Amino acid sequence: MNEESQTRGSLRNLLSRGNRPRLELLGFRFLAITTVFLGIRYFLWRYTASVNFNALWFAIPLLLAETYSFVSAVFFVLNLWLPRTRIPPASPDDLTVDVFITVYNEPLEIVWRTAMAALNITYPHRTYILDDGSSQAIEQMAQQFGVEYISRIDNRHAKAGNINNALRVTEGEFILYLDADQIPKPQILDRLLGYFREERLAFVQTPQHFYNVPPGDPFGNDAPLFYGPIQKGKDGWDAAFLCGTNVVLRREALIQLGMVYYVQNISRELRLTLREAARAAKKAGQMLAEDRALDPMVPLTQTLQRVKETIRRGREALRHGAAMKEVISTVAETEDDLRSIETALERARNDLKEIVVDLEAMGEVQHGAKEGDEATSKARLRIERDLLPMISRYESVIRVVREAAERVRLVVTVEEAPMATISVTEDLATSLRLHALGWKSIYHHEVLVHGLAPEDLGSALKQRLRWAQGTFQIFFRDNPLFKKGLSVGQRLQYFTTIFTYFYGFVAVVYLLSPAVYLFTGIAPVTAYSVDFFRRFVPYLILNQLMFIYSTRGIPTLRGQQYQVALFPIWLRAFFSVISGKDLVFSVTPKTRQRGFYLNLVWPQLAIVVLTVLGIMFGFLKLALGRPTELTGILLNIFWGSYNIYMLSAILRAVFWTPSQERKLGIEV
């Protein structure tokens, strides 16, 4: 009996320690596979037997929205399929570390608190304030407390440019960089540096945690799902990415990244400028072929042909992998020929002007001689209407050729940028490029930094807009699906993050659908029948069970509400990027801003009003007796009510104010 008790105790210990995470993972995988199976079963029926062909304008958008949600569920399953929890190794004692605090017009008190906490980090390091605001008060504060101070003359490329500038004048092997409002714990480097024994490790990311989030998280600032299961899952696929702050990076990885893209950028600039020069030279040749009136005065043909041939040789050399120095040297040969063409054109202009003067004098002498006067007038008209404007056109085209050739010679001035500058979310773009170069990353799930979250709706929406726009910039400029060097898992993990921002289109469909049905009686499916419910309900229930099981103990409601409620932000970001009208970068305010915010949520408010009216109309139908529509009306009343509940969070946030006892500068 005693032996049996010991055996049972051992089994309990085994289940509660090493095997418990394994059993939990198996439980998630079982629910995930079942959910995907039921989803496939449901959508096979939806696509083949349920579409209302009499209302395709309604049926197709809803079907596509549902499909998007199913694909998102599959991505969620893949994301959490291989979660990884890290145990930090002991830190080496011989590494050199720089702590960067990026600053841009934040209040002095906030920067001071972060700087003091950085100075108190126990691992030996040097602390730098990177001040893009060039504040004299912050510089004086840095000098007073022994913090090194770096500023620059402009704010080009925002935070990415700020960090790139500091990398040029600092030397630490590793860099911990922090936003101005992120207060690190003293042990942060001791906890993270041990990971870098792995030589190909580029960075270690930690969670963001905010000490000023009030109860209920009215602005949806906390992201426990992302800084938990999602980042752990991405880490399992070697795809955990930078999150803008609270991260330690290996300088070598950033420098290699900067050099690789420096060379790529130079090559791209060379291709573009050479192509522009070739097009301009071709245009000049076409002009010359169409009208050779200047040939007697300007020796264009042979000289222009030499210019075109030189540019062609430069493009050919670049295409065949010649050294950039050789390409630039080849194009430099056009300088003398282009100068001789410009000189010849200027000489021809002066000669023609002298001829005009002579013709005017001749006209005065021939005044009264009809034939001579007409010939003189025609000659002057030919020069003033045709030849002089033709010279101006030649000059403008040759100027384009020469400017392009000059840019080729100066292309080495392309800026080296270790932190990616193609997106306002430089963190995501940089980690994408590091992974593509074969560098690895780690997500360390431990709160080692406490920061400030936006304390008003306007600041929160501005922050989300920047994130969304930066993500769409990456989608269109450096799409992970086509990025060389990434594994299949990494491609999917990066694309999953981008994919979530397309939810704005889906949310519009989901939010409007109940009102459309309740007002019109038109259903997107052939019928709300038993066939519909016996396929849809099991899929929906298992989907929710899978999500609840995988996020147990994590508050996710506010995040789900804001994912729906921020659909205008996601749409605005998308259209700003595809239109080429990128939004101006702005730092999220670190103190509560006062203002009237109802105008920021008018689309959400309009949908709530429309849905309430639709629900009232639905109840009116029921009161009047519409038994054939009973199921559809009840279903859409429930759906509309759910939508109102999801939008209610952002509407309440409009009027939220902090309680009197809350203070910004609470102790951490």
Domain assignment of residue 254, yes or no: no
Q: Could you tell me the sign of the dihedral formed by the alpha carbons of 34, 40, 41, 42, in that order? A: positive
Which among 450, 497, 431 is positioned nearest to 160, based on CA atoms? 431
**153 lies in the same domain as 203:** yes
Token code pair at residue 585: 């970068």
The angle at the Cα of 328, spanning 326 to 330, to the nearest 5 degrees, equals 70
pLDDT band, residue 303 (cuts 50/70/90): confident
* Residue linked to tokens 């170069």: 437
Lowest model confidence (mean pLDDT) among 400-414, 464-478, 484-498: 400-414
More confident call, 56 vs 296: 56
**70 lies in the same domain as 102:** no
List Cβ neighbours of 174 (8 Å cut-off, separation of 6 or more). Answer: 95, 96, 97, 98, 193, 196, 248, 249, 250, 251
**503 lies in the same domain as 650:** yes
pLDDT band, residue 586 (cuts 50/70/90): low
Number of domains in the chain: 3
Q: Is-contact 79 496, C-beta < 8 A?
A: yes
Distance CA 577, CA 122 (A): 43
pLDDT value for 292: 58
pLDDT at 341 over 90: no
Which among 524, 561, 523, 555 is positioned nearest to 645, based on CA atoms? 561
* Range list of H helices, 445-529: 457-477, 488-500, 503-520
Hey, what long-range contacts does 659-662 have (CB within 8 A, 24 or more apart)? 659/214, 662/212, 662/214
Lowest model confidence (mean pLDDT) among 308-317, 491-500, 585-594: 585-594
Domain assignment of residue 539, yes or no: yes
Rounded to an integer, the average pLDDT of 619-642 is: 90
Q: Is-contact 209 541, C-beta < 8 A?
A: no
3-class DSSP state of 179: strand
pLDDT value for 620: 93
Domain assignment of residue 488, yes or no: no
Distance CA 587, CA 156 (A): 14
Instruction: Write the pLDDT tens digit of every residue in 653-664.
Output: 998 887 644 444
Residue 372 φ then ψ, to 5°? -65, -40
Lowest model confidence (mean pLDDT) among 426-440, 493-507, 579-593: 579-593
Domain range for 160: 97-248+423-456+469-476
Token code pair at residue 582: 């990128």
pLDDT value for 581: 72
Instruction: Write the pLDDT tens digit of every residue in 22-58.
Output: 888 999 999 999 999 999 999 999 999 999 999 999 9
3-class DSSP state of 465: helix
Domain assignment of residue 8, yes or no: no
Q: Is-contact 83 551, C-beta < 8 A?
A: no
**221 lies in the same domain as 300:** no
Q: Give the burial string for 66-77 (b: 16+ CB within 10 Å, else e).
A: bebebebbbbbb
**647 lies in the same domain as 503:** yes
Q: At what angle do helices 426-436 and 158-167 cross, to 10 degrees?
A: 60
**Residue 112's domain is classified under what CATH number?**
3.90.550.10
pLDDT value for 583: 58
pTM: 0.81
Q: Would you call 297 exposed, middle or buried from its count of C-beta atoms within 10 A (0-12, 13-18, 19+)?
A: middle
**408 lies in the same domain as 432:** no
**231 lies in the same domain as 301:** no
More confident call, 593 vs 537: 537
Lowest model confidence (mean pLDDT) among 147-161, 431-445, 634-648: 147-161
Instruction: Write the pLDDT tens digit of every residue in 172-194.
Output: 999 999 999 999 999 999 999 99
**515 lies in the same domain as 644:** yes
High-pLDDT (> 70) share of the chain, %: 86
**373 lies in the same domain as 503:** no
Q: Could you tell me the sign of the dihedral formed by the alpha carbons of 308, 310, 316, 321, in that order? A: negative
Distance CA 481, CA 626 (A): 50
Q: Which residues pair with 205 in a beta bridge?
A: 247, 443
Mean pLDDT of the chain: 85
pLDDT at 398 over 80: no
pLDDT value for 15: 40
3-class DSSP state of 323: coil
pLDDT band, residue 313 (cuts 50/70/90): confident
Q: Is-contact 100 580, C-beta < 8 A?
A: no
630 residue type, one letter = L
pLDDT value for 238: 96
Which among 604, 598, 591 is positioned nearest to 110, based on CA atoms? 591
567 residue type, one letter = F
Instruction: Write the pLDDT tens digit of every residue in 123-152.
Output: 999 999 999 988 999 999 999 999 999 999
